[in-house]
Chains A and B, each alone.
Chain A
Amino acid sequence: MALPAILGFLLWNAGPMLASLFISFTNWSVVSAPKWVGTENYATLFRKDPLFWKSLYVTGYYTFLSVPLVIVTALLVAQLLNQKVRGLSIFRTIFYLPTVVPAVANSILWLWLFNPDFGLFNSFLDLLGHPGFMWIYDERQVIPSLALMSVWGMGNTMVIFLAGLQGVPTQYYEAAEIDGATAFRKWLHITVPMMSPIVFFNLVMGIIGTFQVFSQAYIMTDGGPNYSSLFMVYYLFVQAFEYGRMGYASAIAWVLFVIVIVFTVLIFRSSPYWVYYEGGGRR
């Protein structure tokens, strides 16, 4: 039954992936033929390119802030949207809306929200008597600002949690209620363990996703100020499509690839200690 998926991998993915690995060992500008240079791209990357290290730090920092923030918020909102209240369908749709607003419109809006002089955030802080921030226009504030913005994009994560909450058998809650369990205890001892496979999914996907952040840097910050939002994929994009250095860009991609795999393997290895599978897990 997994055959189509395996076939699909061999047909559409394996070839291009191997091709990009090959390209990472060459100098290739798309228009001319690739020239084999061995590990030169990787050597340059690790030894002579401070911007690569910068992009690695920026991406890691963003992942560290954004992933937990999004997962916690999304789970709380999903629970809020899983109660019996009037107008539930409307509330659910409203909370999903930011996810469907086109990226371009969203980015323009956020450029205004973050604007230090007349943006909404600083106007609001001004009302509270706070001097306000420089947001994405400051080297140290740009990544936290973008992480804050990523919370608005949590709609998909939230919906996955919402679907997950439907899988918790109602009998468990009823049994706990008879035993006189408080709402918090029910949450801690029933909801959390039952949701751990879904948290696991969102954690892995969150890390894969944040390592590939591109559009915010492309539309809003151009990787700045002073390279402080130079995400790896944005750096890769600049190398590939602005400087035409496909080989070098592919080398960046493969370093990123290996880092994400290491993270994913670590999370998978840790899962027996914190992920509870009703189905009994590995069988």
Chain B
Amino acid sequence: MSSQASISPGVLKRRPVQKRIATLITYTLLGIGSVITLFPFAWLVRSSFMEMSQIFIVPPEWIPRPFVWQNYPDALTTVPFGLYFLNTVKIAVGVVLGTVISSALAAFSFSRLRWRGRDLVFGILLTTMMLPYAVTLIPTFILWSRLGLVNTFTPLIAPAWFGAPFYIFLLRQFFMTIPYELDEAAYVDGASPLYVFSSIMLPLAKPALIVVAIFSFLGVWNDLLGPVIYLTDPNKFTVAIGLAQFTGMYTAQWHLLMAAATVVILPVIILFFLGQRYFIEGITLTGMKG
């Protein structure tokens, strides 16, 4: 009590000035950081409006002359991007839904339920991320071709419904930061684990679930290796294959590649912009002692 009384007057006077300086520093750092991080994107966009000869001029130029708007319609028609967008969205919806649901369930089990051998099984799951993809690639492909599912979306979607170790680990870490008292109170009231999962854990871990959704969407959107290996029918190709075609089929038409790349990353930017709104400051644990 007494210490609070002695601090209060000083705090009241100093706070506004300190706050203003802190805000100023924040804006300065954000400004500098933005310039640095915007660099790759700015370079991509300016290249998308240039003729191929200007892109690699040394030293680089930042203003396209002339402004080649035509790159965009050209890029989007030489490769059937409409179809590729549709295919990729189909895969993405399946993968994102599957990943979020199955990984959250598994993470709940690995962090909150008690069963024999739990931590060992979790460890084994983690190891699947540690073996380089390149060596399991061929055995995995042989597996899918034996199942007769090559050239369908199944090899790209089905595994997502069985949980992805990366996201299980991520969500487990988030679940473990949630106070145990909340589950215990619910269990005392006779709740089932499924109820605790869906009514306590999921709402509190919303930011983490958004992260899983954004990452898994981006994973599908940028995945080149998977579609290249499993899809042979051009009617099933994805946007990543579409981008790659500019460097293969047409021997590196960089100006078209840059225009197509700009269009392709737009949905991801929009999705991130919408998703990050759920990262709002601090959860409030009502009815909890501080």
Contact = CB atoms under 8 A, between A and B. Distances in A.
Interface of A: 1-2, 4-9, 11-13, 15-17, 19-20, 23, 30, 77, 80-85, 89, 91-106, 109, 112, 118, 123, 152, 156, 159-160, 162-175, 178, 180, 183, 194, 197-198, 200-201, 204-205, 208, 211-212, 214, 232-233, 236-237, 240-241, 246, 249-250, 253-254, 256-257, 260-261, 264, 268, 277-283
Nearest to A8: B162
Contacts of A118: 58-59
A256 B123 CA distance: 17
Interface stretch (B67-75, B76-84, B85-93, B258-266): B258-266
Given A171-B285, A197-B173, A278-B179, A264 B211 contact: no
A3 to B, nearest CB: 8
A178 B103 CA distance: 40
Q: How large is the interface on B (under 10, 10 to 19, 20 to 34, 35 or more residues)?
A: 35 or more
A203 B264 CA distance: 31
B203 interface: no
B207 interface: yes
Contacts of B180: 279-280, 283
Contact of A89 (B108, B125, B273): B273
Interface string B248-259: 000000000110
B17 interface: no
B237 interface: no
Interface of B: 3-4, 7, 11, 22-23, 26-27, 29-30, 33-34, 37-41, 43-44, 47, 58-60, 102-103, 105-106, 108-114, 118-119, 121, 123-136, 138-140, 143, 159, 161-163, 165-166, 168-170, 173-180, 193, 197, 204-205, 207-208, 210-211, 214-215, 218, 222, 243, 247, 257-258, 261, 264-265, 268-269, 272-273, 276-277, 279-285, 288, 290
Contacts of A249: 134-135
A20 B290 contact: no
Given A15-B143, A105-B258, A167-B207, A277 B22 contact: no
Given A2-B109, A80-B30, A236-B134, A152 B40 contact: yes
A80 B176 contact: no
B105 A12 contact: no
B44 A101 contact: yes
Contact of A83 (B26, B34, B38): B26
5 contacts: A1-B105, A2-B106, A77-B33, A163-B207, A236-B132
B162 A277 contact: no
A4 B126 contact: no
Nearest to A91: B30
Contacts of B119: 282
Nearest to A11: B162
Contact of B29 (A80, A112, A169, A280): A80
A15 B141 CA distance: 11
B206 to A, nearest CB: 8
Contacts of A159: 211, 214-215, 276
A51 B106 CA distance: 41
B162 A80 contact: no
Contacts of A84: 281
Contacts of B135: 20, 23, 236, 240, 246, 249-250, 253
B30 to A, nearest CB: 5
B279 to A, nearest CB: 5
Nearest to A163: B207
The 6 A-B residue pairs whose C-beta atoms are closest, nearest first, are A8-B162, A5-B163, A170-B282, A16-B139, A19-B139, A163-B207
Contacts of B197: 1
Given A101-B40, A163-B210, A200 B173 contact: yes
B130 A178 contact: no
Contact of A105 (B23, B133, B261): B261
A18 to B, nearest CB: 8
B249 to A, nearest CB: 15
A197 B125 CA distance: 19
Most A CB atoms within 10 A — which of B11, B27, B119?
Answer: B27
Given A89-B277, A97-B41, A264-B126, A4 B261 contact: no
Contacts of B26: 80, 83, 85
B6 to A, nearest CB: 9
A245 B168 CA distance: 34
Given A97-B40, A98-B41, A160 B30 contact: no
Contacts of A250: 135
Contacts of B165: 5
Nearest to A201: B173
Contacts of A214: 134
A166 B272 contact: no
A256 B11 contact: no
